[in-house]
Structure formats: C-alpha cells, structure tokens
Structure 1
Amino acid sequence: MTTDDIRVGVDIGGTFTDVALQTPQGFSTCKVLTDYARPEQAILDGIGQAAEAAGIAPGQIGQVIHGTTLVTNALIQRHGAKTAFITTEGFRDVIEMRSENRFEQYDLNLELPKPLVPRQHRFTLNERMGPNGEVLLPLDPAEVQTMAARVLDGGYDAVAIGLMHAYANDAHEEMMAEALRAAAPGLSISISSVISPQMRELPRFNTVIANAYVQPQVADYLGRLVTRLRQMEVTAPVFMLHSGGGLISVETAAEQPVRLLESGPAGGAIFAADYARAHGLDKVLSFDMGGTTAKICLIEEGAPKTANTFEVARTYRFKKGSGMTVSTPVVEMVEIGAGGGSIASIDSLGRLQVGPRSAGSEPGPACYGRGGAEPTVTDANLLLGRLDPENFGGGAIPLLPEKAMQATEKLDLSPQEAGFGITEMVDENMANAARVHTVENGRDIEHFTMIAFGGGAPLHACRLSEKLGIVALIIPPGAGVGSAIGFLKAPFSFEATRGLFQKLDAFDPDQVNAALVEMEQEARSFVNEGAAGVETTTRLTALMRYSGQGWEIPVQLPHRPFDTEGRTEIHAAFEAAYRKLFGRIIDGLPVEITNWLLTVSTVLPPVQKAVIHRAGLQADTQRRRQFFDAGLRQTVDAQEVARTAMTPGRMVEGPAIITEAETTTIVTSGYRAIGQGDGSLLLLRKEGQA
C-alpha cells in the first residue's frame, strides 16, 4: 500500500466536521464536533481518529482534500477584514444601488442586504476604459500614489479594486495594485480583472469585494491548517474543493477564496451524482441535511446543475434578488437553515417557527448536555423516538432526553406535540424549498429520485418524499459523511472566464480564438498544480442573448478554433438552447455573446454500475422500538435493523429504523427498504400508498 492509495476528505460544517479516509480496503469515517475558534483542530482530531481506525499512520496519507463553509459564514455573519473598495469615479454606489429589482413587490419595508463595504470606505479614481478596452480617460500616476497613501492611512486589511470595463483592459487596475503592493507588501489586494473578468459591473464588483473581504481570514486559516498537518507528520499536498465541484491547490484557494463559497455542499452534489450514475438515474434530487443547513440540488444525466452566478446572504427565504450576487462557478442549489441544530421558537403571533438560527456545535442541541437550552430539531427527533440516546454518533455523544424535554417546555406543548410540530415544520420548509427549486428550473419533482445524505437527511428523507410525492429514494453508504466522500470523487478543474462582447453578425473569430487560447492556458496552469500529465477534458460555454434582452443563457459549444463560418454553428446552438429553455425562439432579432467560460477538468474514471434489487428477503432484526410516524400522526412499533444487516437483496418493511455510526435512517410506514449491490439502501413507496 503506497501513499498514493491513501486519501482523506474533510468537510467542516456548522455543527460537525466530517472525515472520510480512503484506503485500498475501503473507507474509514468519523464525525467530530466543529471547533469554531480553531476549525483546524477538529480536522486534526478527525484525521487522527480515522487513521487509527484504519490502522495507518498519519504520515502514510498521500492527499488531503478539504471543503469548508468558512467563506459563506464570513459573508453571512459579516466577520471579514476591514476592506476598502476602489472604483471608477461615478460608480461608487453601484453595489448599494444593486439592480433595482424589487423582488418583493408589495413589501413597503423591503430589506436589502447591506453592502460588505460601507460608503465611507469606497473610493474613486478619475479614469475610464471603454467596453472594447480603449482608454477613454488615462489614469494619472500622481492620483494613484495619493490613493495608495489614503488606503494606508485608513488602516485597511484588504483592498478590492474594480474599475469599469477592466475585463477588457486591466491596465489601470494593475497600476493601482502595483502601487499598493509597493507601499504595503503585506496588504491583501484583489482585482476584478483576475477574480471575475466578466461583463456586468454589479456582480463583478460584488465578487472582487467578497474575495478581498474574506482573503486575510482564509489565508490565515489555510496557513495554520497546513502547518498543523505538517506537525502531525501529514506531509501530503492539500487541495480545496471549489464551489464549481472541482479541486484547486490550497495556494489558489488562498488567493481566490471566493471560489470556496459553496465548497462543502458542492462535495455533497458530487457524491450524489456518483450514485446517480451508478444506478443509471437521469433525474435526481440531491438532499443534503446536516446540523445547520439543508441543501437541495438537481442532478440530471449524472451531473449536478451548475451556474455562473450565485446569491449569498439572502434576506428573504427563496427570493431571488434578495441576496448579494457574485460571479463564480458554482453547483446550483437551494440552501435553507434547516438542520439538526435549527432552533424552534414561538413568534409574536403564537406560531411555531424553526430556524434559521442554529445551536451549531457550541453549545449544540439541548440533548447534547453542553449548555444548549433552546429546543432544536435533534431534540425533537430524540423525543419522537427516532434517535437512540445511547447510540448517537456510534455512542460518542450520549443524548439526554430530560434536557430535550426541558428545552421543549418553553414551547408550551407536550413533548410529543413539540417534537411533531418541530419536525413537521422543518420537513415542510424543506419540501417548499425543493418545490420552488424544481419549478424555477422547469421540472416536475414527482419524476425525480431522491438521494439523501448528511447526518440529518436519512432521518427526514422518507417524510420529505411523502410530502413531495417521490416514489423512490436512495441512502448511499457513508451517507453521514457524504460531502467528505464526495471530495474524494471530484476532478481537478478550473473555469477561466472572459468578458468579450460581440454581436454574432459581426463575429470576429481571430479575436475569440486568441481569447480562448489564453483562457485554456490559464485553466490548465491551475489544473496542472495538482494533476500534471493526467487526461483532461475541456468544456466551452458562451453566455448569449437576443439583442435588447437583459440577461443571457449558457450555450454549450464545441471546443476548437472558430472560422468565419463559426457564427452559423454558434447561432444554431443558441437557438437550440433557447428553445429548450423557453419552448420557442424569436425570429428576426440579432444575437449577442457577452461572456465566455472555459473549463478544463481531469477525466473521472467510469463508475461501477450497481446491482439493483427491488425486492428481497427479510433482514435480521436487532430489536423493536417505537417512533412517531408523522404521516400516520401516531406512534408505531418499528423494527430496528443494523445497516450492516442490509446486505444486497435484504429487505425491511416500514415502519423501521436502520442504524449506523454516522446517521439513522427512518423508514416510515409507507415505504420499504432494500439493500443494493453497492451498499446503498433503496427505499420504495409501497403499492397503494398515496
């Protein structure tokens, strides 16, 4: 066994840090509570436990792959660096004016997310580039020096530079950045022509500001992590999962941390996509529920749905436009504050509410006995009999039912009423999120198969499927640490972007080809940091629209040099994509290309097809337990079966409880569970069940 055979994936969540250690013999996994003050400590503890269980020394690990919610949390909680923003004169307030989209039309007290950089920390330069890169107003070097001195006097930890049309000509941005580097070598500097070289100043400015805002914190954290791993004798290279679902070096992540926005959830989507391919499923709803949040993603034809923009810190649940839009490749999903630690309360109208506040790992749910006093979803599941107080987390965290009861007394409900109300509310919130997400993408959710993972998802997946009308769902092996396992299945990849506006009638193939060569070189240089010499694939996307439209659609194009006849091929591809999305095309309108996206990624090995069982023999029952079945509105007598007993072709009829170290699967009365050839569980709705 060589070090190349041993890899570890680590996912830091809001409540638990998940570790999956892969050896030729299989996976060794564990969950440890997240350490907010020193998040790297939980990683070290988890790797140590997993390595000991696998019987290897930490020094034998050949690769560490990490995902984190650090960037997302810093943006939501506004725990970032003191940041200055330098932009073109006249555009100081772009990030505050936003797009002027009134996403909640009749709310007279509309609440918008506050800009990361307050107005007094936003500065302007008298300069101007044109959309084709022409210098309309040269930048005075004396003004650059004055601005550098002003930033230094302000005591800023980070600076974001976003000038108009810098995607077409970055000379002025580079001039300002060079002056700041000379004046303050240790200052964190981000420029939009590197972080997001695309058209549209609002998302470009937001993205470079977000990058600068979190860069000092992320660079410091990653530096500490690498140092502590070396002290633990883990000398393996460290890679990060970016939000688009690929791997980048830890050095790139420290320079462009905005690419880590959804890195943890992206790992879960990759995990689900791998099982979608193994089971031959074209339409999958990925459901990832942890201790703090729940994430829902569509997976079609074996790949997660991706996007080029993402909204963070929405002020209105499910409302597009209520968050801060950033331009970075991302696995597209909806994320809500619904996890095991989500706190229940009674609002001013006497209604039960759950989330988005979470008890996290500190102090954690009341039943953890670590000082938490507010009722949470985990407390509710314990009171309903869905969790075994003596076997939670493999027995590592004993649960205290009396603490859960004390916490739910605040709701002025009986323990069972409180437990049912909390879980039903959180399940309905997740069902609504799933419905909205599928409708926004023009899909019918009833035709999808759910793949559920994360510590909390197997507890709620059956009830969620009942609400959504889903007939079949899959609980993969290692579901409790699914995102961490997904990291180990991710390719090395990097997406290069360019803002290059052209009307298709005036298509310039030489200019496009030159840009594509530069983009491919950029993307390959990042991929080669971790996968030099490995077979790769290249994907080219153009963002296109009809002239006069306000937004673009992504159009997949063949990756090869274009000639003068290329416009015909591109136009046909645009019409096919437009017709698929909207059902029709618009005759007679000219077509435009705004931005180009080119992704280089390593080729994934083919998945081993799972042997599917849709019926089988009864699995061995450990004992019988009772739990509250929300669909029946009553307590039921259930079989308890160990996950290890659910071998291929073994079946258990609901109601049943399937136990393992990292999670518990609740099989409601309307479903049956069958063990599959790849170790997963297939839950099917019983005949005649609505």
Structure 2
Amino acid sequence: MATDVTADHRARAPGARVGIDVGGTFTDFVLALPGDARGLLHHKEPSTPDDPARAVADGLAAVLDRAGLGPGDLASVTHGTTIGLNAIIQRRGARIALVVTEGHRDILEIGRSRMPSSFDLHAAKEQPLVPRDRIVEIAARLGPDGRPTSTPDDEELARVAEELAATGADAAAVLVLHGHTDPAFEARLTERLGALLPGLPLTSSAAIWPEVREFERALVACLNVYIQPLMRRYFDRLEALLDGLGVSAPVYIAASNGGSLSLRSAAERPIETVLSGPAAGVTAATRLGRAAGIERLVTFDMGGTSSDIAVAVDGEPEFATHTTIGGLPLILPVVAVNAIGAGGGSVVRAEHGALKVGPDSAGADPGPVAYGRGGLRPTVTDCYLHTGVIDPATFLGGRMTLDAPAAAHALDAVADSLGLDGGDGAADGALRVATAGMAVELHKTLAERGLDPAEFTLVPFGGAGPTHAAVLAEEVGIRAIVVPPTAATFCALGAVGADLRRDFARSLRRDLDDVSVSALRDILAGLEEQARTWLGAQGPATGAVRLTRAADLSYTGQAYELRVPLTAPLTPAGLTEAFHRAHERLYGFRDASAALRIGTARLAISAAGPDLTPAAPATPSAATPPGPVGRRSVLLAGRRVTADVHRRDALHAGHTLTGPAVVEQDDTTVLVPPGWSAAVDPLGNLRLRYS
C-alpha cells in the first residue's frame, strides 16, 4: 500500500542540482538547471582511481564553469559511487571482528552449507569475511519469542571486551541469536560493550537490518563495518574538496534501492550504497519509460568495466531482497540489477587457443591501448575503434584523440597468436564473443521470469551501451531500442533526480490470525515512526512524501515467502486473499485449505526529488532531416559496409534515418546496423526498430 502523507513541498529555493556517478573509467556529471532553456548539462571526467574524490571535484568545477555558475548556485549534490562495492569484491575493507551468541562462533564459515558448485569437486568455498580467530562468543541470547534466555553480567562483558580488543580489529559487529525479535536488547548490549571499548566502532546487526536468518543478518552487519572506515575516509575527503571549491549545498549519496540518503546516513549505513550507481540508472530509465509510454523495458548499462541489466514491468523497476555481492548474500532491498558481461575497458586476449573478453579491465589508468596512456592490452573500446564504429578524432566530442594505429597493433598481436585474419579478425571476433556472453545472460534473466524478449524495449546507457545495443538486441530477439539523449551520463541523471528513500523491515514469524495481524499493525506503526524520524534528519529539500507497506507471507512450512502489498484495513481475511492472488499469479494455483504465516513486515518511505521529466525539444523539426556529415567503412558481422555518419545534436523530433549508420554525440556513439531504422521522438529519444 502506498500513501501520500504530506502535501508537496519542493526545495525552499530553486537552484542548480548536480548528479555524479563515479565509474571505473569515467566520472559522469549531470547538471540540472531549473528554469534555464539549457535544461541539463552533461560532462565526463576521467576517473582517478588513486583518489576518486579528485575526479569529482575537478569535474564539478568543469561543469559549473561550462554553465557559467558558481559553487554557491548549487542547491544539492547527489553522488553515486561503487567504492564500497569494489572494496567488498576485492576484499580490501577494514580489519573487523564479530561478537556472536555463544555456540555460534562458526556462523560465517557454516553459512548455508552450500558449495559454490555442486558439480565441481575442486571448487573452493568462499573465505569467510571474518576469520574465526576474530570472532568472540558472548553469553547473550533471545528466544524466538523475543524473551532473553541469557543476559551477560558486567564480568562477562569485561571478558568479551578484553578478547575483542586483543583481535586488533578496526571495527566490530554484534549479533545475538533471534536479535531481530527485540532490536533494543542487542542495541543495549552494543552500547554497554562500546562503553568498555571507546576507541572501537561497534554496530548492532538488528539496528542495521532486523530480519530473520542469522547468517544473512550477520553478513549485513559485518559488511557495513567492513566498508565503513573506507567510506568515511572517502566522504571526509569529498567534503573537504567540495568545501575547497566553495560548495555549501547539502550532499546526498545515491542508494542501492534507487533513492538517496544524506551524507551522514550514508556514513552510518554505507552498506545501503554499494549498488548506488547501477540503481540510479535503472531509476532514470523507468522515469523515461513512463514519460515515453513504455511499460516493459530492459535496461542495458555498459560502462568501462562491466555491463548490467535490469527488468521493469508496468513502469516500475524490479526490486530484490536477496542478492549477491562479491559472492556474499545481501538481504537489503535493492533494485534488481544483474551483471551480464564485459564493458568498454574489458581486456581482449588469447587464452588456451581461444579468444576471451574480460573479466579483467584496463580501467581509467592506463585504459585502452588507444588512450595512449601506456596500456598494452587491447580492449572492447579498441575493437570499436578498429572496426570503424567510433571515430578517433571525435571521441568525447574531440576532447580526447584516440590512437588508432596503436589499437590496430595490439589487436594484430592477439590475432597472430590465434591465427585470425589480422586486427579485423580479432576485433570482430572479440565483439561477437562479448555479445554472445551478454545474450546468454539476458536470455536467462528473462526466461527465469517467463518473459518474452520480443515484448520488451531495450534502454541502453553508459558510455558503451548505445554503441553495443543494436547488436545485442538482434542477438536476443529484442526489436525496439530507445536511446535517451543523455545515455552516456544516465546514472548521474538518475542520481540528480533521485527521491530520498529508505527501507525498513522487522520479522514476525507468526501464524496468520487476529493476534498476529494486530502485532503486524503495531510493527508497521513503529516502522513508520522510525521512517519519519529518519526523513526529518535528511535535510529540508523534500517533495511529496510516500509510504509503501508490504508483508512477506507464506504457507506454513514453506522456507521462503511472497511479498504482498498491504491495503487498509488489515484483516486476516484480506491478507489471506492477497497472498492467494499473488501465489496464483506466480504459480497458477492456490491452496485455500492451507494455513498461512506472516514472515517480515516491510515499509519504505520516500520524498520526491526534483521533477526532471523531459520536455519536448524547443528546436522545431526541419522539413527534411539533415544529411550525413560523412561516411566511413564499418566492420559489422564480418563484413565491411559504408555507414552514414550523423551528429545527434543535428537531429530533431520527426527526423528518421536507416542503417547502416553511426550517430555521434559528444559522449557516446549510437550504431544503427543494416536492417535497423532510427527516428527521433518528441522527447528527443532516438528510437531504433528492427524491420
């Protein structure tokens, strides 16, 4: 159930807003200018992996200079980052410890007792995030009903504090068995331990996410403290650089649920930001879909390091409450984004007599060979350049000239080791390999949901998304593509328009009856109070506030639940029918005689961000589309064709063109292969269709 709970009240004063997305190769900026005919300004700044905040400061100064604005003209800064995600994947977070109920010291090692692969006898199990010698047991435990069965005295706490200090940990998480039933118990325990260890940051698992399943809840808390010192150092550095520029506007961090939260909240709960960049892109795509009348879409985010997809049906992104980060399960609500393959910086190589693409990436430094920064291994971007899809003289609007001969030389070396027909054979083969891998993963994602690719529209973004979109769509069977005008900086656009949003949850684990429904009402009321308190601490720039309530229900005895939106009034009969309808829709039947069980109550609060709904372009369509600015040879599917070259900024609503063609814009290139046509719609989107 979604409820509007306040009148719409926009920011106190209009002003420029900037969205930022830090990627492995480029840091993207979108500057929204309310009341300005320019609307949105876009900028790409090479990332600085040694100091990511430096690229943020340099790019922000550059985009403000382009707009003729000063730092004081900014109303807000919203920033998406993958720093926490990369730290988890690369296992370079803090040295952390875990305090856990006695008898459960092996909780992280046992996990769910599953091997990575049932068919690989040599597969090694994922190393636990916290080694066993940094896990300390404590005589504290709650029963399933929330009543304490063991409460530590002062002597026990002193022992635990001494052992915890001896681990040399930088931070620690606290987990009490059944802690989700009474989060206050675990919070008090954490506070008492903290008083004995004033220099050691401690986090209660139930305070981070009070949901059943101790292993997953332990991981959420451990991951939070694992990346917290790194993220706080980054946020401090970011604040210092922004202060140095003279930026006084509030800073928000894009969240994994597609919303945003204040810098302070992000520092306290950095685990909520690990998928912020990809989620922001999906949010922007669904907004585009609603504006363009597209209900079923697949987003395709191809950046410098990887490619990600997400599915949206009925204009809303799909959310997941169980995902995997660096091989570890995460139970926080996130926009459901799946990694499906290589990015523009993915390395092309010969391995065991076969052509391979990725997963290694050249990143921003040294980057692809064509960047001329010392890179020696060819990448997907080098392949685009060699095949003629991108022009070395117009890359990034001419701000960065690419070295085509160097890319050709690197690809020749790969071709020679495999006996291919020169650089053409290596480049064409690498793009086919990358496409095949993406297509397999995309087919799998849609098939798992029982969805037909032909019913969907592909929305590509990221620097390489529009370049690869038509090739991937044709391989998968998608026949329609919508390329937004701001595709290359789309995740930054999603950030600048993001709502303030946070999710809350609390597990009940009770049979469905009058008593449990009454408890559900009480829990939802408590979650709403927490949500309002959180929102009030985020800053003044809020729009219409919306509350969304749901509950996880199941047949008694089932291991997993179905998410059911809640409608008022809440009654056992109403919840039962809502669950049966959801079960019938997914599985084709209902068991009316079976008892039901309430699992977890969920509540999300959001405050609307700035309205960035695109308006129709002010420039009227010409009677006939402008002719191509040139023609060049492009290698497609193993053969050379002559493609017309168009400038995106010269095409306006109503203009059409047919492939083979290349549409260039300052920050990306759109490929229109043979058999495809393209037309500009009233919102400035380039719509491709396969005939």
Asked if 1:23 corresponds to 2:33, the answer is: yes
Cα drift, residue 670 of structure 1: 1.5
Matches within 5 A, 1:30-179: 30-102=43-115, 104-179=117-192
**Matched-pair contact (CA < 8 Å) for 2:395–2:401:** yes
Distance change in 2, residues 1:2/1:102 (3 Å): closer
Cα drift, residue 464 of structure 1: 0.5
Partner in structure 1 of residue 376 of structure 2: 373
Matches within 5 A, 1:314-463: 323-348=327-352, 350-411=353-414, 412=416, 413=420, 414-463=422-471
CA distance in 1, matches of 2:314, 2:614: 16
CA distance in 2, matches of 1:31, 1:3: 28
Among residues 651, 674, 683, which one is paired with 2:679 in the alignment?
674
Distance change in 2, residues 1:2/1:54 (3 Å): farther
Among residues 589, 613, 628, which one is paired with 1:621 in the alignment?
628
Partner in structure 1 of residue 640 of structure 2: 635
CA distance in 1, matches of 2:48, 2:192: 39
Cα drift, residue 608 of structure 1: 6.0
CA distance in 2, matches of 1:2, 1:129: 47
Distance change in 2, residues 1:593/1:87 (3 Å): same
Secondary structure at the counterpart of residue 198 of structure 1 = coil
Distance change in 2, residues 1:202/1:610 (3 Å): farther
Distance change in 2, residues 1:506/1:513 (3 Å): closer
Asked if 1:537 corresponds to 2:546, the answer is: yes
Cα drift, residue 426 of structure 1: 1.1
Cα drift, residue 373 of structure 1: 0.9
Alignment deviations for residues 129-156 of structure 1 (CA, whole Å, 9 cap, x no partner): 1111111122233111211122223221
Secondary structure at the counterpart of residue 221 of structure 2 = helix
Distance change in 2, residues 1:532/1:395 (3 Å): closer
CA distance in 2, matches of 1:586, 1:100: 31
CA distance in 2, matches of 1:519, 1:446: 41
CA distance in 2, matches of 1:201, 1:221: 30
RMSD of aligned alpha carbons: 2.1
CA distance in 1, matches of 2:487, 2:131: 42
Among residues 249, 263, 270, which one is paired with 1:250 in the alignment?
263
Among residues 306, 313, 317, which one is paired with 1:300 in the alignment?
313
Larger deviation: 584-593 or 218-227? 584-593
CA distance in 2, matches of 1:302, 1:455: 24
Secondary structure at the counterpart of residue 342 of structure 2 = coil
2:362 partner letter = A
Distance change in 2, residues 1:410/1:606 (3 Å): closer
Partner in structure 2 of residue 320 of structure 1: none
% identical aligned pairs: 34
1:639 partner letter = D
**Matched-pair contact (CA < 8 Å) for 1:492–1:530:** no
Partner in structure 1 of residue 4 of structure 2: none
Distance change in 2, residues 1:615/1:429 (3 Å): farther
CA distance in 1, matches of 2:201, 2:277: 25
Cα drift, residue 291 of structure 1: 0.4
Cα drift, residue 653 of structure 1: 0.7
2:200 partner letter = L
CA distance in 2, matches of 1:324, 1:153: 27
Among residues 553, 557, 563, which one is paired with 1:554 in the alignment?
563
Secondary structure at the counterpart of residue 179 of structure 2 = coil
CA distance in 2, matches of 1:337, 1:121: 36
Distance change in 2, residues 1:452/1:120 (3 Å): same
Distance change in 2, residues 1:48/1:112 (3 Å): same
Asked if 1:276 corresponds to 2:285, the answer is: no
Cα drift, residue 95 of structure 1: 1.9
Secondary structure at the counterpart of residue 508 of structure 1 = helix
Alignment deviations for residues 431-456 of structure 1 (CA, whole Å, 9 cap, x no partner): 11211111222211221001111100
**Matched-pair contact (CA < 8 Å) for 1:278–1:609:** no
CA distance in 2, matches of 1:394, 1:261: 31
Alignment deviations for residues 179-225 of structure 1 (CA, whole Å, 9 cap, x no partner): 34223434222211111100111211111110010001101111211
Partner in structure 1 of residue 3 of structure 2: none
CA distance in 1, matches of 2:591, 2:613: 41
Matches within 5 A, 1:189-268: 189-268=202-281
1:108 partner letter = L
Secondary structure at the counterpart of residue 202 of structure 1 = helix
CA distance in 2, matches of 1:641, 1:659: 6
CA distance in 2, matches of 1:334, 1:120: 34
Larger deviation: 585-594 or 31-40? 585-594
Cα drift, residue 596 of structure 1: 1.0
Distance change in 2, residues 1:10/1:186 (3 Å): farther
Gap runs ≥5 in structure 1:
314-322
Partner in structure 2 of residue 318 of structure 1: none
Distance change in 2, residues 1:100/1:446 (3 Å): farther
Cα drift, residue 557 of structure 1: 1.0
Matches within 5 A, 1:502-517: 502-505=510-513, 507-517=515-525
Distance change in 2, residues 1:548/1:46 (3 Å): same
CA distance in 2, matches of 1:624, 1:533: 49
Partner in structure 1 of residue 7 of structure 2: none
Secondary structure at the counterpart of residue 461 of structure 1 = helix
1:183 partner letter = L
Distance change in 2, residues 1:430/1:664 (3 Å): same
Alignment deviations for residues 107-126 of structure 1 (CA, whole Å, 9 cap, x no partner): 21234322211121122112
1:391 partner letter = T
Larger deviation: 168-177 or 467-476? 168-177
CA distance in 1, matches of 2:405, 2:449: 45
CA distance in 2, matches of 1:112, 1:16: 34
Distance change in 2, residues 1:16/1:81 (3 Å): same
Larger deviation: 171-180 or 601-610? 601-610
**Matched-pair contact (CA < 8 Å) for 2:22–2:80:** yes
1:549 partner letter = Q
CA distance in 1, matches of 2:52, 2:247: 17
Partner in structure 2 of residue 319 of structure 1: none
TM-score (norm 2): 0.93
**Matched-pair contact (CA < 8 Å) for 1:14–1:34:** yes
Cα drift, residue 100 of structure 1: 2.6
